[in-house]
Amino acid sequence: MNQQTIFDYTIHLADNALVIAQRNSEWCGHGPVLEQDIALTNISLDLLGQARSLYQYAASIRNKMNGNDQATEDTLAYLRDAREFRNCLLMELPNGDWGQTILRQFFFSVYQYNLYQYLQRSSDNTLSAIAEKSLKEVTYHQRWSSEWVIRLGDGTEESHRRMQNAVHELWMFTGELTTPAGYELEAARENIGVDPASLKAAWSQTIAEVFQEATLDVPATGWMQTGGKEGRHTEHLGYILAEMQFLQRTYPDSKW
Amino acid sequence: MSVQELEKIFQDKIDREVRIEPKDWMPDAYRKTLIRQISQHAHSEIVGMLPEGNWITRAPSLKRKAILLAKVQDEAGHGLYLYAATETLGITREQTIDDLHSGKAKYSSIFNYPTITWADIGAIGWLVDGAAILNQVMLCRTSYGPYARANIRICKEESFHQRQGFEILLVLSQGTPEQKAMLQDAVDRWWWPSLMMFGPRDSESTHSDQSTQWKIKRKSNDELRQQFVDMIAEQAKILQVTLPDPELKWNAEKKQYDWGEIDWNEFWNVVKGNGPCNKQRLDARKKAHDNGAWVREAAKAYADKRKEREEKEIKVA
């Protein structure tokens, strides 16, 4: 198996988890009600934990490929620039209101839930172990975010309008989740990873079921934005990284 | 039974170290004092999330980010236990929060200082949580049961908070010259405000006497402050930082540290709302509350609809 492919695939999984964790963590201390502030912070912590496991694994692969490299979870998170990030565009979108944040989490959690079900059976032992451990967390994320989509969709007139608006804002970024990049197809061929196109039916079905209960309309499938998986991002990612990476960039080679 | 007799039984319980529980008779003033104090404590936890939350997105490593997120989340949890404790005294969480937003209720002034550098996150853990723990350890034995129990849970987590703060600073103390300067600068800025956390001098404190008699408080402001200085002055040696007080020195006779005078003018100004971040902190809380109104309304409307549907289903069945 080509090590570069495992590296790219792992980095993609890690970047997804980190970038959405970073976005969600912006809510910490600013949530609409204390219990939900705590719940979303929990999800950020779980996703950050997943990202760390994946970066640690990616770092070990990189160091094996090149003996001179001394990659760590932190060099990967803090010292790569936007073009090297492989997360889907959906993760980096601004939080918007609470409804948009919930909906983004819901779209992603349903995807991650389906992905990790398969990834548990990866022939790569580290990835399967990470998937197995993460699946317990993601099961809760999916439940929590579905419940909130339903509650807000079928709550008041205002909350319904806001949720339907969130759907319109985010929908064109959902297609990328299940549109495979080259390294995903290769990883799938080697039974290391999963072809995300194969998850599309299950993903769409859950979305349709939850939307129905939430009295939300599923948009007609239209044009979908892509590029994040290949490092072509929205204008938002640069700002996320500028903020996240600033200490490491300003004080290079320091321990924290 | 007359009020005098009830008061006698109440004070007798306190003197015998029996905890007061929500359903017990208590003087109105005891209830009011507790509502004021516990809600102030709760608000401090919640407002305290802001200066530290300010660094979550910029934490310098993934490990530090995870620890800081978990820590700020703990503060939210402490706020929850404490709001629940105030509710046992007959005031709702909404009312308590409204009092914060209207300025009627206070929170710890320390959170009106800005977190300018990463070292401030360490300094908050070491000094601010260090000061808070001394107070909270005392409050684990406070006379009101629900408040005492809330503090026991809080103390377990706070000692981890103080250690993580100290550890952030310890790493900086062994780092580059820039990191050492960042550490000293944070200690310079947080030292005096931390001493102010214990409140006015005993001779100036308006609530102390009664609170001591009711065993809400078991140590005076000045006693706790002395305990804090003695503890921190020793720990500062390990960090190789200078506490910004030329008068600070060990008094062998008294077996404690002597130190200089707090700037009480600054203290009272920050209490009155003139601190560097008083306005920003309160604005941030109000904004979160206002922006969240539609979410809370929707959750309630949905819960009501659910209930209505379930009742209908029961009727049909």
Which chain B residue lies closest to A18 (C-alpha atoms)? B62
Average pLDDT over residues A137-160: 98
Per-residue pLDDT, B263: 97
Q: Which of B58, B178, B295 sits opposite A244 (nearest CB)?
A: B58
The whole-number pLDDT of residue B305 equals 94
Does the distance separating the beta carbons of A159 and B298 come in below 8 Å? yes
The DSSP secondary-structure symbol of A28 reads T
Contacts of B165 in chain A (CB under 8 A): none
What residues of chain A lie within 8 A of the CB of B118, using their CB?
247, 256
- Sign of the Cα pseudo-torsion (A94, A100, A106, A111, in order): negative
Name the residue facing B176 among A28, A246, A251 (closest C-beta). Answer: A251
The three-class DSSP label of residue B249 is strand
* pLDDT grade for B314, boundaries at 50, 70 and 90: confident
> Domain A3-250 carries which CATH code?
1.20.1260.10
Question: pLDDT tier at A221 (50, 70, 90 boundaries)?
Answer: confident
CB-nearest partner of A244 from B57, B293, B294: B57
pLDDT at residue B226 tops 90: yes
Say what percent of chain A tops pLDDT 90: 96
Can you give the pTM of this predicted structure?
Answer: 0.96
Interface contact B180, partner A, CB < 8 A? no
**Could you read off the pLDDT of B159-205 as tens digits, one per residue?**
889 999 999 999 999 999 999 999 999 999 999 999 999 999 998 87
Instruction: Give the residue on A whose Cα is nearest the Cα of B294.
Output: A159
Residue type, B38: I
Q: For an interface test with B, give the residue of A20, A22, A27, A37 to mutate (most B CBs within 10 A).
A: A37
Q: Is the pLDDT of residue B317 over 80?
A: no
Q: Is the pLDDT of residue A68 over 90?
A: no
A28 vs B53, B296, B298: nearest CB? B53
Q: pLDDT band for position A149 (50/70/90)?
A: very high
pLDDT at A31: 97
- Tokens 């003996």 correspond to A67
Q: Are A41 and A25 contacting, i.e. CB atoms less than 8 angstroms apart?
A: yes
List chain A residues with CB under 8 Å of B175: 254-255
Q: Which of B57, B184, B182, B48 is nearest to B118 (CA)?
A: B182
Q: Is this complex scored with an ipTM above 0.90?
A: yes
Q: Does B306 touch chain A (CB under 8 A)?
A: no
3-state class of B258 per DSSP?
strand
Mean pLDDT across chain A, nearest whole number? 97
- Higher confidence at residue A10 or residue B156? A10
Best residue in B62, B172, B183 for a mutation probing chain A (most A CBs within 10 Å)? B62
Q: Where are the domains of chain A?
A: 3-250
Instruction: Go through chain A and tell me how many residues it has.
Output: 256
Question: What does the pLDDT average to over A103-124?
Answer: 98
Query: Can you tell me the distance from the alpha carbon of B283 to that of B291, in angstroms, rounded to the nearest whole number?
Result: 12
Q: Which helix (H) or strand (E) holds B46?
A: helix B28-53
Q: Quick one: closest CA in B to A252, which residue?
A: B176
Q: What is the mean pLDDT of chain B?
A: 95
**8 Å CB contact of A254 and B57:** no
Q: Which residues of A touch B67 (CB under 8 A)?
A: none
B62 in contact with A, Cβ within 8 Å: yes
Band the pLDDT of B315: cuts 50, 70, 90: confident
The pLDDT tens digits for B64-103 are 999 999 999 999 999 999 999 999 999 999 999 999 999 9
What residues have CB less than 8 Å from B160, skipping those under 6 apart? Answer: B71
B53:A30 CB<8 A? yes
User: Is B299 in contact with A155 (Cβ distance < 8 A)?
Assistant: yes
pLDDT-derived band at A1 (thresholds 50, 70, 90) equals low
CA distance B63 to A154: 39
The pLDDT assigned to A67 comes to 82
pLDDT of residue A69: 84
Q: Give me the pLDDT at residue A43, please.
A: 98
- Chain A residue with Cα closest to B80: A34
**What does the pLDDT read at residue B313?**
85
What confidence score (pLDDT) does residue B272 get?
93
Q: Give the residues across from B250 on adjacent strands.
A: B257
Angle at A53 between CA A48 and CA A58, to 5 degrees: 120
Confidence of residue B316 (pLDDT cuts 50, 70, 90): confident
Q: Any residues with CB less than 8 A from the CB of B99 and at least 6 apart, and which?
A: B39, B105
Per-residue pLDDT band for A188 (boundaries 50, 70, 90) equals: very high
Q: Specify the pLDDT at position B206.
A: 72
Residues of A in contact with B174 (CB under 8 A): 255
What integer pLDDT is reported at residue B1 of this predicted model?
A: 85
What pLDDT was estimated at residue A49?
A: 98
A-contacting residues in B 204-243 (Cβ below 8 Å): none
